[in-house]
Structure 1
Amino acid sequence: MVADNVKRVGRGVLDFLLPPRCPSCGTRIADDGHLCGTCWGEMAMITAPMCGLCGLPFAAGDLDGAECGACMREPPEFDWARAAVVYDDRAKSLILGLKYGGIGSGVPALGRMMAGSIAREAKPDLIIPVPLHSRRLLMRRFNQSQLLAKTLATNLSLPLEAFALERRKATPSQGTLNRKSRKRNVAGAFRVTADGKQAIAGKSVLLVDDVLTTGATASACAKALKRSGASHVGLVVFARVKHPSAG
């Protein structure tokens, strides 16, 4: 009882000195790990109809679960992908704040939205984040996909294999590349570790990343996982680019 009272007093002092703020707009909020009501209301949630493979949102009235043109031309290596929201200015501010500003207070909220986006999918056996190359990890000091994966693992009560997959090639940024160039850029960039092979053998894997554009990085990861024994690879991201680069 005394310890609980001390914790409450300590938290009250901390909230007074450093009040919780919305990770998107900076407005004061009641508790960390949430968005303010305005930012939450402005999130462009992805709901059906959508592509059955890559989760690309379709226009109202389109057939839910059908494949988009890109997936029909070249199916991804992962079995399905889902995203919580459309990658618009609001989602972009959260992702950039996390990746480059170190604003991690929004991770629990992002994780909850991601968990909701895969509620209809079969429950996987374990969770693996898309890894960063060691050089980039040293510069950034953390892997945003691993933070999201950890939150998802807690929400879904699933084991997290944070280091089963590694990025063995330091590839240039995908940002300015078209679809074909992105695929070439990450070809052979990922491999499963020795311990990872034991963990994923015959298992259904949920791959976690922050943003999905063309799916090149996720496909390269899924290919490595399946070659090393994973039976199934699903993908969940926080945000989905609605109009991926062509070419």
Structure 2
Amino acid sequence: MAQTLASPAMDAEASPPRSISGHFQRALGAIGGVWMRAARMALDIALPTLCVSCREPVHGEGVCAACWAKLSFIAPPFCPRLGIPFVYDPGPELLSMEAIASPPAYQRARAAVRYDDVARTLVHALKYQDRTDLAPTMGRWMARAGKELLDGADLLVPVPLHWRRGWGRRYNQSGALAKVISRQSGVKMASEALRRIRATEQQIGLSRKDRASNVQGAFGIADERKAEIQGRRVILVDDVLTSGATADACARALLRAKAAQVDVLVFARVVDTHRAPI
């Protein structure tokens, strides 16, 4: 049986995992002592947890060691503004072409990993398959990648779902990640500060221009929450950064509410492997 990098505990404030073993393990919580240990051992043998990526049995929850090794963690050198990894080190403070040609409303962006096949599987499992047991590990990786942003930050604000989408999904994956990052960093979370005031299409399959149009004016701050934002250094939390259109629209809403600065922290970002600084 493969070993996982970590066996993340269930986020107590997130929706429980939907795995069969997860349901049985919670039911066994009332059994004490020797019987509980024996029952859990039997359960692990009968219903082993599977790697969310390759479906091989793993010890604990999450991904196996082989799939973890395939994740491409983002480390320097990268663009200091957008966090886009460079193919070579251009020297300090040199920006990517994207940051110069089309600077976003947010100040800086950081991501834990590149959005590759394994990262995509993790994101989709968290987002669509109720695998909130993945949030603790993903959130810890994000906290490590965003340490520079978290130092001195005042608030964590997750990208919100529209209420109709939230009703169907039952939880916000960005909120689940932000809770973990808040516990890791001590930065306060303001889960209801930012609202999606207009339903939007799914961004998947849209061009960069259409993505920007799709989310234009889709976010806002309620009047009673503006004092919470005003003058604060805010970190916007999301699962994936693709074109940056959603993050940019959210940042503009926060800046209209007079946030002092908005940075972005995501689990994964789409990266063009041929990008280079100028």
Using structure 1 for the length normalisation, give the TM-score. 0.89
Distance 1:16 1:226 in 2: 54
C-alpha contact (below 8 Å) 1:201/1:228 kept by paired residues: yes
Tell whether 2:191 aligns with 1:162: yes
- The answer for the alignment partner of 1:210 in structure 2 is 239
Tell whether 2:104 aligns with 1:76: yes
1:84 partner SS: strand
CA drift at 1:82: 0.2
Moved more, 35-44 or 145-154: 35-44
- The answer for the alignment partner of 2:4 in structure 1 is none
Distance 2:162 2:101 in 1: 30
| Alignment deviations for residues 67-101 of structure 1 (CA, whole Å, 9 cap, x no partner) | 22222112101110000000010100111111111
1:120 partner SS: helix
- The answer for the alignment partner of 1:6 in structure 2 is 32
| Alignment deviations for residues 81-126 of structure 1 (CA, whole Å, 9 cap, x no partner) | 0000000101001111111112222111101110110123333111
Q: Relative to 1, partners in 2 of residues 1:132 and 1:7: Cα closer, same or farther, differing over 3 Å?
A: farther
1:188 partner SS: coil
Tell whether 2:254 aligns with 1:228: no
Structure 1 unaligned spans of 5+: none
| Alignment deviations for residues 117-171 of structure 1 (CA, whole Å, 9 cap, x no partner) | 0123333111110001111111212111111111111111121111110001111
| Alignment deviations for residues 176-207 of structure 1 (CA, whole Å, 9 cap, x no partner) | 22222211111111001234212212111111
1:172 partner SS: coil
**How many equivalent pairs are there?**
241
* Structure 1 counterpart of 2:173, from 144, 148, 156: 144
2:94 partner SS: coil
RMSD: 2.4
| Alignment deviations for residues 22-41 of structure 1 (CA, whole Å, 9 cap, x no partner) | 33334433333x53222221
Q: Matched residues, percent identical?
A: 40
Distance 1:133 1:144 in 2: 13
> AA paired with 1:167?
R
- The answer for the alignment partner of 1:190 in structure 2 is 219
Distance 2:34 2:95 in 1: 52
1:29 partner SS: strand
Q: Relative to 1, partners in 2 of residues 1:10 and 1:171: Cα closer, same or farther, differing over 3 Å?
A: same
Structure 2 unaligned spans of 5+: 1-28, 274-278
Distance 2:189 2:214 in 1: 27
Distance 1:143 1:199 in 2: 21
| Alignment deviations for residues 19-65 of structure 1 (CA, whole Å, 9 cap, x no partner) | 44433334433333x53222221110001111111111111233454
Using structure 2 for the length normalisation, give the TM-score. 0.79
